Structure 1
Amino acid sequence: MKRVVLTFGLFLLTSLGFAQEDSYQLSTHILDISEGAPAANVAIKLEKRNNKTESWDYVSENLTAENGRVNDFLPAGQNNNGVYKFTFFVNEYYKEKGKETFYPFIEVVFEIKDEKHYHVPITFSAFGYSTYRGS
Structure 2
Amino acid sequence: MAGGYLTTHVLDTARGCPAAGLKIELFRLDGGGRELVRETVTNADGRTDGAILPEAEFAVGVYELVFHAGDYLDGFGGAGGPRFLDVVPIRFGMAEADHYHVPLLLSPFGYSTYRGS
The answer to whether the 8 A contact 1:77-1:115 is kept is: no
Give the 3-state SS of the residue equivalent to 2:73 in structure 1. Answer: helix
TM-score (norm 2): 0.88
Aligned residues: 112
CA distance in 2, matches of 1:77, 1:64: 21
How big is the shift at 1:49? 0.5
d(CA) in 2 for partners of 1:121, 1:47: 16
Cα gap change, 1:40/1:79 in structure 2, threshold over 3 Å: closer, same or farther?
A: closer
Sequence identity percentage: 37
Q: Tell me the equivalent position of 1:127.
A: 109
Map Cα deviations across residues 69-108 of structure 1 (whole Å, 9 max, x no partner).
Answer: 1232222155510000000001111111112441111000
Q: In structure 1, list runs of 5 or more residues that go unmatched.
A: 1-21
CA contact (8 A) 2:61 2:93 kept: yes
Distance 1:81 1:24 in 2: 8
1:32 aligns with 2:3: no
Higher radius of gyration, 1 or 2: 1
2:53 alignment partner AA: L
Q: Which position in structure 2 is the counterpart of 1:112?
A: 94
Higher RCO structure, 1 or 2 (CA under 8 Å, sep 6+): 2
After superposition, the CA RMSD in angstroms is: 1.8
* 1:81 to 2:70 alignment: no
Output aligned runs, 1:89-104, within 5 Å: 89-100=68-79, 101-104=83-86
What secondary structure, in the 3-state scheme, does the structure 1 residue paired with 2:20 have? Answer: coil
TM value normalised by structure 1: 0.77
One-letter amino acid of the counterpart of residue 103, structure 1: L
- What do the CA deviations read for 1:86-133 (whole angstroms, capped 9, x no partner)? 000011111111124411110001111111111000101000000000
